[in-house]
Amino acid sequence: MMKDLVLKSTHNALFMRALRGEEVDRPPVWMMRQAGRYLPDYLKLKAKYSFFERVENPALATEITVMPVDQVGVDAAIIFSDILVIPQALGFEVSMNPGEGPRLPQTIRSAEQIDAIQIPDVADRLHYVMDALALTKKTLDGRVPLIGFAGSPWTIFCYMVEGRGSKTFSKAKAFAFSQPEATARLLDKIADTTITYLKAQAAAGADVLQLFDSWGGLLSPADYRIFSFPYMQKIAQAIPDTPVILYAKGCAYALPELARAGATALGIDWHTTPEQARALAGPDMVLQGNFDPSRLLSPIPEIKRMAKEMVDAFGTQRYIANLGHGILPEVPVDHAKAFVDTIKAYGS
Ligand code: CP3
């Protein structure tokens, strides 16, 4: 019994220790978008329930969140939800249509619409996320830490203006560049809502919080400083008591600033080498990444070699092994497992 408890707390400690920059025997490993997508048991639930049924039902969300812990052996769980629950909480309908991705039928077209948005009681509006976190936490029973998350204000803004996914988000950029003051007011409303939301997630059981700036890389470095960075910083600084990971895809140029934004760790995509990322973020920053997600489609021996090389390059300390972006739905489970197992065997 005692031994069980010790083992539990030791295992649990790895990801948190690496985040705090403490010495570890090997890096912890998890994969962005690990809950769902490529797991056969998830696809069974997907055939039975709509996307938001899965998200809004705490028992289903818990089951999906815990799947990769049981089946792939990752060192952290990330709650099954979506970044687009924030537009929903702000009063914007979001539908997820199979094969089409997200759709927002009503989009932001004017400054008046922005000024009419009321900041919601987000813990109440999104209570099912907090319920799912609490149930997941209980179900995990200390096996691994639990990650909560939200989208960055800029990335959420992109969807609220564009109304759907896009390669260029040109409607969103046109709005931002022609109405920068109104854009700043909306980004502030999203940031304030997100701060309350992330704090509620931590109170409900999230040990770590990650902010996804998936579309930051669509901005030039100068525009990133106007439309994304200040809001990421505002959020990171408003949450001093829970570790925050900032993941800004395509924003290597911003790593020196992101390293000073008040975050605990920075996510790195695969367009940056580990050496470049270390040089840009500075020696004290904890980094997370950056395996090319499509490299999980390589033959398994190749995956193992490349995963090992990745740790060689980042080093075992102040490092969390992960992909450079979300796992692709077509990745075979044994390939994902080979990646995770290689990190777990590193150095032994
Ligand atoms: O590990 C996890 O998957 C946890 C849950 C999670 C989802 N979305 C579930 C989901 C997380 C962390 C997200 C984040 C998210 N959602 C981001 C940021 C991360 C990234 O990938 O850049 C973004 C941009 C979204 C918005 C979104 N949600 C899109 C563009 C899509 C459609 C395409 C896709 O990514 O699959 C979604 C739908 C979505 N969110 C699915 C899942 C599992 C797929 C739909 C389904 O399985 O029914």
Q: What is the DSSP string of 210-239?
A: EEEETTGGGS-HHHHHHHTHHHHHHHHHH-
What is the pLDDT, as a whole number, of residue 95?
97
28 near 321, Cβ under 8 Å?
yes
What is the average per-residue pLDDT within 57-62? 98
Instruction: Read off the pLDDT of each residue in 48-67 and give the average, rounded to a whole number.
Output: 97
Does the pLDDT at position 228 exceed 90? yes
- What's the confidence (pLDDT) of residue 12? 62
pTM exceeding 0.75: yes
Compute, in angstroms, the gap from residue 80 CA to the centroid of ligand 1: 9
Q: How far, in Å, from the CA of 261 to the mean position of ligand 1?
A: 25
185 φ/ψ angles, rounded to the nearest 5 degrees: -65, -40
What integer best gives the mean pLDDT of the chain? 95
- CA 68 to ligand 1: nearest atom: 1
> 7 alpha carbon to ligand 1 midpoint, in Å?
33
Q: Which of 37, 82, 133, 246 to mutate to test the pocket of ligand 1 (most atoms within 8 A of CB)?
A: 82
Q: How confident is the model at residue 3 (pLDDT cuts 50, 70, 90)?
A: very low
Q: Whose CA is nearest to atom 7 of ligand 1?
A: 82
Q: Which atom of ligand 1 is nearest to the CA of 81?
A: 5
Dist. CA 158 → ligand 1 center (Å):
15
Q: Name which of 225, 119, 236, 135 is nearest 180 in CA terms.
A: 225
Q: In angstroms, what is the span from residue 104 Cα to ligand 1's centroid?
A: 15
Which tokens sit at 265? 């760790």
Cβ–ligand 1 contact at 224 (below 6 Å): no
Any idea how long the chain is? 348
> Domain residues of the chain, as ranges?
14-344
339 lines ligand 1 (CB under 6 A): no
The rounded distance, in Å, linking the Cα atoms of 252 and 240 is 24
- Give the three-class secondary structure for 155: helix
Q: Per-residue pLDDT tens for 131-166?
A: 999 999 999 999 999 999 999 999 999 999 999 999
Q: In this predicted model, what pLDDT tens digit does every residue of 288-334 receive, in sequence order? A: 999 999 999 999 999 999 999 999 999 999 999 999 999 999 999 99
Could you tell me if the CB of 35 is within 6 A of ligand 1? Answer: yes
Cβ-proximal residues to 130 (8 Å cutoff; 6+ apart), any chain: 123, 200, 201, 203, 204
Smallest CA-to-CA distance from 136 within 32, 81, 209, 58 is with 58
pLDDT digits (tens, 9 = 90+) for 163-219: 999 999 999 999 999 999 999 999 999 999 999 999 999 999 999 999 999 999 999
Tell me the pLDDT band of 24, cut-offs 50, 70 and 90: very high
Q: Is the CB of 65 under 6 A from ligand 1?
A: no
Q: Is 64 in the pocket of ligand 1 (CB under 6 A)?
A: no
Q: How far is the CA of 311 from the centre of ligand 1 (A)?
A: 27
* Nearest Cα residue to 79 out of 152, 154, 131: 131
Other beta carbons within 10 Å of 267: 27
Q: Report which secondary-structure segment, H or E, holds 60.
A: helix 58-71
Write out pLDDT tens, residues 242-284: 999 999 999 999 999 999 999 999 999 999 999 999 999 999 9
Q: Is 80 in the pocket of ligand 1 (CB under 6 A)?
A: yes
Nearest residue CA, atom 46 of ligand 1? 51
- d(Cα 153, Cα 213) in Å, to the nearest integer? 8
pLDDT at 212: 98
Q: Collapsing DSSP states into helix, strand and coil, what is residue 146?
A: strand
Look at residues 197, 209, 256 and name the one whose alpha carbon lies nearest to residue 229.
Answer: 256
Say which CATH topology domain 14-344 has.
TIM Barrel (3.20.20)
Does the beta carbon of 322 lie inside 6 Å of ligand 1? no
Ligand 1 atom with the smallest distance to the CA of 84 is: 26
Res 1: pLDDT: 39
Are 252 and 277 within 8 A, CB to CB? yes
